[in-house]
Amino acid sequence: MSLNSIMNIATSGMNAAQTQLRVVSDNVSNVNTPGYVRKIADQQSWASQGVGAGVEIARIRLATDRFLQAASLNASADAGRQTVRYELYDRIQSMFGDPGANSGFFSQIDSVFAAFAASAENSTSGPARQDAIWKTQGLFDEAARINSQIQSVREDADARIKSAVETANSLLEQIEKLNVEIAKATVVNADSSGAQTAQAALIDQLSGLMDVRITGRAVGGVEIRTGAGILLAGQGAAKLDYVRAGAVAAETVFNEITVIEPPAGKARSLAEGLGSGEIKGLLELRDGEAPATAERLAELMSRLADELNRAHNASSAAPPPNSLTGRNVGQSLETALAGFTGRTSIVITNDQGVALHKVDLDLATMNPATFLADLNAQLGTNGSASFVDGRLKIEGAPGTGVVVVDDPAAPTNKGGRGFSHFFGLNDLISSDQPAMYETGMTGASQHGFPAGETITFRFSDAAGAKLRDVQVTVPAGGDMTSLLAALNDPMTGAGRMGTFSLNAAGEMAFPPRPGSGAQLSVLQDRTTQVPSGVSMSALFGLGGARASRADAFSVRADIVRDPALMAFAKADATGGL
């Protein structure tokens, strides 16, 4: 062996040792650097023409375990998902206050009933009535405030989804640039560990936003896919796109997050197969947990208002008011009257509550088509009845009062409500939209929506990915059976997603087909019921209409002005007070 060869071998050993020292130095200096991965220099001997010629560094690699890396990425995604859900859901919980405290939202419900109990015991006390009114209005105002804040949380989540999408796009672009850098270094056998470390840190950030699967490329670098297999990086950087909704209400239908998958540019929904990560947590809260909370709040307020109205309609102010104007029932008078049983009386009284004229009505045998004419004929000069824009109004002659009283032996009933209660003739709590969805309709009922009007639904899967949009046209025929058939048509309706149906109380439901997990929202509703002017989604509580009820309630304006109009008096056998 020549002296020159010996020197070359020694030099190669010194170069290899120098590289090893540099690697060790990097490892030691970055021991506390977040995201840093330890390097390993793989050393090997090399020969020239079968003769040992020294040593060389074959490659510098990161000391990673792909199984531990996958577990770490999964943990990061789960942490991102649960952290954001906890943060935003904790904000919603704080709106209600401590359930056991005296200052929380639920304690206000107790105080409302206590105020009414005190007012009923001392029905002539103006301050007691005023206290009940203030506490009732305060409760509904607080419910409206909470509902508004829940929608604000959803709006915040929507904005954070947009921000997360932009962050993901930036990370994917950087990861793909490093893929190119690593591939170039691999070709010339250069050290790419710095680029790999930087790339690993970026992937870790990306995994906090969404669950990802990483595989190595033969040319160096990585290929990244979502849990559903959508390609994000490795053959070019994917482009995520999302247009936020802006102001958010209960009825808001959000846009999809789309992914333009490289290299062909195919667009797919990111929600498809998304299992974890911050984006997943934001979607779950925005589209699932927050709306469900708002809907439960609205249902609570609706039931509370309905029970207060039930009691108020069963009583009368003393002296009785000159007129009773009902709520918008969202139906024609004939449809609203059909299906009633029992007997009730319309009583005209003097200003002291003494009965002057009484009209007895047997709702089971009456003719709904001639009800208004028959009632006006029987009232004569003592009063009048009208039905305009879905509202029934009964008015006495000047200087008289009006009382509606059911026959105790055969009280009126339709869908669990009496005549006065169903029409809202003496409601305490008013609402600017339908709040109870037990319409009392049957398949034979005329719905009142003109043929040719349309309603458009969006169906999404359990993950929030859009399945399809369906526009349904109101058919000719006019009855609920025809409307349900159009809604459930498998070709032009929602028949492939689920089944619309009416229960015994006339409430419409949409159970999805088993296994589909289809969720319904209303994209557009161009229906208007005649004569009420109510839309189909509002009448039947479709889409976000149910949750929107929470901020629709208030104590009747004339009762706020004059608490003496609160109904605590009971009619006697003659209909007087």
pLDDT tens-digit series, residues 530-563: 999 999 999 999 999 999 999 899 999 999 999 9
Would you state the pLDDT for residue 573?
A: 59
Q: Is residue 102 part of a domain?
A: yes
Give the number of other CB atoms < 10 A from CB of residue 194. 15
Three-class HEC string of 214-241? EEECCCCCEEEEECCCCEEECCCCCEEE
* Helix (H) or strand (E) segment spanning residue 148: helix 126-187
Residues 479, 399 share a domain? no
Q: Is residue 307 part of a domain?
A: no
**CA distance linking residue 131 with residue 422, whole number of Å:** 27
Angle between helices 126-187 and 66-96 (to 10 degrees): 160
Q: Is residue 397 part of a domain?
A: yes
**CA distance linking residue 322 with residue 433, whole number of Å:** 25
Q: Could you give the C-alpha distances from 179 to 65, 202, 230, in angstroms and in order?
A: 19, 12, 18
Residues 80, 58 share a domain? no
* Helix (H) or strand (E) segment spanning residue 151: helix 126-187
Of residues 158 and 23, the one with the higher pLDDT is: 158
Residues 350, 487 share a domain? no
Residues 321, 258 share a domain? no
Residues 219, 126 share a domain? yes
Residues 385, 240 share a domain? no
- Of 41, 63, 85, the residue at which a domain comes to its end is 63
Q: Is the pLDDT of residue 20 over 90?
A: no
* Rounded mean pLDDT, 24-39: 71
Residue range of the domain that includes 528? 454-545
Strands 212-216 and 222-226: antiparallel
One-character DSSP codes across 417-486:
B-HHHHHTTT-SEEESS---------TTSB--PPTT-EEEEEEE-TTS-EEEEEEEEPPTT-BHHHHHHH
Q: Is residue 555 part of a domain?
A: no
Residues 537, 407 share a domain? no
- Cβ–Cβ < 8 Å for 251, 522: yes
- Which residues, 6+ apart, have CB-to-CB distance to 519 below 8 Å? 459, 460, 461, 462, 464, 512
Q: Considering the chain, what percentage of its residues have pLDDT values greater than 90?
A: 67
Q: Is residue 263 part of a domain?
A: yes
Would you state the pLDDT for residue 189?
A: 78
- Cβ–Cβ < 8 Å for 81, 281: yes
- Which residues, 6+ apart, have CB-to-CB distance to 445 below 8 Å? 331, 335, 338, 479, 480, 506
**CA distance linking residue 320 with residue 401, whole number of Å:** 5
* Rounded mean pLDDT, 89-113: 87
Residues 178, 279 share a domain? yes
Q: Is residue 566 part of a domain?
A: no
Q: Is residue 338 part of a domain?
A: yes
**CA distance linking residue 431 with residue 97, whole number of Å:** 26
> How many distinct structural domains can be found in the chain?
4
- Of 17, 37, 63, the residue at which a domain comes to its end is 63
What letter does residue 256 receive in the DSSP assignment?
P
Residues 102, 19 share a domain? no
pLDDT-wise least confident of 50-64, 281-295, 419-433, 508-522: 50-64
* Helix (H) or strand (E) segment spanning residue 555: strand 553-555
Strands 508-509 and 501-502: antiparallel
Give the number of other CB atoms < 10 A from CB of residue 48. 10
- Cβ–Cβ < 8 Å for 353, 319: yes
- Per the structure block, which two tokens stand in for 70? 């996958």
Q: What value does the CA radius of gyration of the chain take, rounded to a whole number of Å?
A: 35
Residues 510, 403 share a domain? no
What three-state secondary structure class fits 340? Answer: coil
Mean pLDDT of the chain: 89
Q: Is the pLDDT of residue 151 over 60?
A: yes
Q: Could you give the C-alpha distances from 435 to 145, 294, 550, 551, in angstroms and in order?
A: 18, 14, 9, 11
* Rounded mean pLDDT, 68-75: 71
- Cβ–Cβ < 8 Å for 487, 500: yes
Would you state the pLDDT for residue 257?
A: 94
* Rounded mean pLDDT, 335-359: 93
What three-state secondary structure class fits 374? Answer: helix
Residue for token digits 């789309």? 258
Residues 43, 131 share a domain? no
Would you state the pLDDT for residue 68?
A: 62
Q: Is the pLDDT of residue 81 over 80?
A: yes
pTM: 0.86
Give the number of other CB atoms < 10 A from CB of residue 197. 20
**CA distance linking residue 242 with residue 541, whole number of Å:** 29
Q: What pLDDT band is residue 187 in, cutting at 50, 70 and 90?
A: confident
Q: Which CATH number characterizes residue 369's domain? A: 2.60.40
Q: Is the alpha carbon torsion for 461, 150, 251, 164 positive or negative?
A: negative
- Of 274, 289, 304, the residue at which a domain comes to its end is 289
pLDDT-wise least confident of 142-151, 196-205, 494-503: 196-205
**CA distance linking residue 549 with residue 544, whole number of Å:** 9
* CA angle, 17 then 19 then 20, to 5°: 60
Would you state the pLDDT for residue 264?
A: 80
Q: Is residue 103 part of a domain?
A: yes
**CA distance linking residue 229 with residue 186, whole number of Å:** 26
Residues 191, 223 share a domain? yes
- In 188-314, where does DSSP find H-type helix? 193-209, 278-284, 290-313
Residue for token digits 């990061």? 76
387-397 pLDDT per residue, tens:
999 999 999 99
**CA distance linking residue 490 with residue 496, whole number of Å:** 5
